[in-house]
Amino acid sequence: MSNYHHGPYAMFGFKYHLWGFIAALTVGAVWPNLVHAMDLSKPLPKRSAKEVLHHGPSSAFFEQYDQGVQGNCTPLLSHLNEKLQSADSDVRYSAQLVYAEMYDRAVCVEYSPKKSFEYFKQAADAGGPAFYAHVGWKYSYGHGVEKSEAKANEAFKLLLTRGAFTENSRTYKRYEDLLKDRPIPPLLKEGIEWLIETTSTDDGLIELAQALLDGSGRYLGRSPLQIDQISARNILSQTALFSPKARFILGIEYLKGSFDDKNRREGEMHLMWAAQCGYVPAMLKLAQLSETGDYGVKQNKQSTYGWYHMARENGADVASEVEKAKQKIGSYLQRSIQHDHRFKVNMKRCH
């Protein structure tokens, strides 16, 4: 996810911030004027499905939507009404998104920003957090709902934190693509800048994930971040692809049951991966768990010695722990550690 923060990728990180800064200037200078140029008492422009709908959730409606823009509404309305009755929430979600745009643009229905807001809100709450962009946009401008900066910020907070695990969600282009021809509100612009700054390093991503687990963080330095285990797990899982530290913390959180259920096997797997990528704290934690049996990990004297031995070989000051563990196993098991690949760094699996 964020491997560009280290070594040969450092220059990429510099360019990332430079382009973010340029984009911020552009957004601040241009988009407020675009908002003022829009007459929100009238429907948004009727455009093609490709221009206003989203590939994936709405793709099945593209052809019929374009027919609706031309005035042939029966196939589109029939298809949508059928899908809204589906027992499958994903199917209903796709129809809600199409209806939301239709009511904002008066395509086959009367212009109703209120109904558009309701459909966008239903879709976002049902598991499409990207569409909190539209919910927040409407709160920002009082479009179909009473204007509220506080509620707009709450929507943008959900949008940004739930998408933080993907790198493209930490760019302005992501939100331009989401909102289509709707200009980015200043409140969202401020939030994007916060996200870029907060997640500019692996440690920043890890800290955000931990804040989402314990509720200790604050959005824009003001409102608290709500506990969100799913977002925290997504951030840690993606960051773990490049950061042994993130993988170590992900393993610990699985063992603790921070994601609603304790998963010893998953937790141990992530700790072992981090250890084999050379992360010494993971080696020490595995040695401790093998010794104490905490979190339901099976006690194993050989593993205790193996992990302490590995940690010492990689610079940890644990000579006394190695000696104590060594006394508890026979000479055969001591020798076997030298050939056990569990206790060796293997950087090939870390990239």
Residue with tokens 């946009």: 137
Residue type, 179: L
Q: How confident is the model at residue 334, as a pLDDT? A: 78
Residue with tokens 């060594």: 326
Whole-Å CA distances, 162 to 150, 158, 172, 296: 18, 6, 16, 31
Q: How confident is the model at residue 37, as a pLDDT? A: 59
* CA–CA dist 274, 259 (Å, integer): 19
Q: How confident is the model at residue 10, as a pLDDT? A: 30
* CA–CA dist 194, 175 (Å, integer): 14
Spell out the per-residue pLDDT of the chain, length 351, in tens.
333 333 322 322 333 344 344 444 444 444 444 554 578 889 999 999 999 999 887 899 999 999 999 999 999 999 999 999 998 888 898 999 999 999 999 999 999 999 999 999 999 998 888 999 999 999 999 999 999 999 999 999 999 999 888 888 888 999 999 999 999 999 999 999 999 999 999 999 999 999 999 999 999 988 899 999 999 999 999 999 999 999 999 999 999 999 977 788 999 999 999 999 999 999 999 999 999 999 999 999 999 999 999 999 999 999 999 999 999 987 777 788 878 888 999 888 776
* CA–CA dist 164, 238 (Å, integer): 10
Contact yes or no for 65/79 (Cβ under 8 A): no
3-class DSSP state for residue 301?
Answer: helix
* 251 burial level (CB within 10 Å; 0-12, 13-18, 19+): buried
Maximum Cα–Cα distance across the chain? 84
Domain edges within the chain: 3-207+221-239, 244-350
**Sign of the C-alpha dihedral computed for residues 237, 239, 243 and 245 taken in this order:** negative
∠ CA 199-169-65, rounded to 5°? 170
DSSP summary character for residue 59: G
Strand partners, 218: 224
Whole-Å CA distances, 150 to 114, 282, 344: 19, 42, 52
The values of phi and psi at residue 53, to 5°, are -95, 170
Residue 71 — left, alpha, or beta (φ > 0 → left; ψ -120 to 50 → alpha)? left
Residue with tokens 């000696």: 323
